[in-house]
Amino acid sequence: MPSTSSKRFIMLGMGSFGSALASQLAANGCRVTGVDQRRDRLDAVKNVIHEAIIGDATDRELLENLPIKDSTSVFISLGETISRSLLATLHVKELGARDVVVKGVTKEHGKILSHLGANRVVFPEEMVAKELADKSSWPNVLDFLPIDPEYSVVEITVPESLEGKTLAEADLRSTVGVFVLGLRDVMQGRFQMFPEGRTKLIQDQILLVIGREEELARLREMN
């Protein structure tokens, strides 16, 4: 597995989402090339990312001069104009991009992008809204991480109805469908990966679980 510093990314479109993503990748030690038609957007990040290029991200000639084949991923975030992200996706796939991640506008847009070869289509506003809604609706959920469209990893305080039971007695795999990855004891500052079935659940413990949305909802609703 390559070190973080050896990873190279291309960001096509340096609006609010693109700039934030590019800046965070750079902060993580990655080499980021950003492309946008607006100089002011690039000026805001030129001292943060590895390379800032002024130009049209749908211009095939410009894209041919980028290290697309050598990049870990190409990110595309070209605003609300659907045709531009479709064209950019088509070009970078034809130019040999290994992994293409595109910011979607609508579900239909996402389907077309997938047919064009996009490896992932993301809807940042929906992801943030869902996380905020879940945390607001279920205060016992401490952290929420979607890992694909179907599964998420969640940190949740032990429900009162499970206090005093062992993990085997709670049998969360059978009762709600989630799989327990770990257990954190807040008071003792300890974390157990894949805790044994005889482990007793008590107050001040946090479960780390993985499951589908409907399974996690059943767990959150336990009291």
In this prediction, residues 144-162 reach a mean pLDDT of: 85
* Same domain, yes or no: 102 and 132: no
In this prediction, residues 12-16 reach a mean pLDDT of: 96
String of DSSP letters for 14-25: -SHHHHHHHHHH
C-alpha span between 33 and 30 (Å, rounded): 10
In this prediction, residues 152-161 reach a mean pLDDT of: 90
Residue range 16-30, pLDDT digits in tens: 999 999 999 999 999
- CATH code of the domain containing 157: 3.30.70.1450
Which pLDDT belongs to residue 139?
Answer: 62
Among the three residues 122, 149, 182, which one is the final residue of a domain in this structure? 122
Contact (CB, 8 A) for 157 and 167: no
* Same domain, yes or no: 86 and 194: no
* Same domain, yes or no: 114 and 140: no
C-alpha span between 38 and 122 (Å, rounded): 23
Which pLDDT belongs to residue 2?
Answer: 42
Which pLDDT belongs to residue 1?
Answer: 37
Q: Encoding tokens for residue 220?
A: 């959150």
For the cut 50, the answer to whether the pLDDT of residue 213 exceeds it is yes
Among the three residues 122, 139, 158, which one is the final residue of a domain in this structure? 122
Q: Name the more confident of 179 and 221.
A: 179
In this prediction, residues 87-100 reach a mean pLDDT of: 98
* Same domain, yes or no: 92 and 31: yes
* Same domain, yes or no: 209 and 155: yes
- CATH code of the domain containing 83: 3.40.50.720
pTM metric for this prediction: 0.70
When pLDDT is cut at 50, 70 and 90, the band that residue 192 belongs to is very high
* Same domain, yes or no: 66 and 83: yes
* Same domain, yes or no: 149 and 45: no
For the cut 50, the answer to whether the pLDDT of residue 3 exceeds it is no
Among the three residues 122, 151, 175, which one is the final residue of a domain in this structure? 122
**Domain tally, the chain:** 2
For the cut 80, the answer to whether the pLDDT of residue 125 exceeds it is yes
For the cut 60, the answer to whether the pLDDT of residue 166 exceeds it is yes
Task: Please tell me the number of Cα atoms within 13 Å of 121 on its side-chain side.
Answer: 19
For the cut 80, the answer to whether the pLDDT of residue 167 exceeds it is yes
* Same domain, yes or no: 175 and 204: yes
* Same domain, yes or no: 110 and 165: no
* Same domain, yes or no: 75 and 169: no
C-alpha span between 103 and 113 (Å, rounded): 10
Q: Sign of the C-alpha dihedral, residues 155, 160, 163, 168?
A: negative
* Same domain, yes or no: 116 and 19: yes
* Same domain, yes or no: 13 and 118: yes
HEC readout, 105-139: CCHHHHHHHHHHCCCEEECHHHHHHHHHHHHHHCC
Owning domain of residue 198: 127-220
In this prediction, residues 89-112 reach a mean pLDDT of: 96
For the cut 70, the answer to whether the pLDDT of residue 5 exceeds it is no
Separation of first and last alpha carbons in the chain: 42
C-alpha span between 216 and 49 (Å, rounded): 38
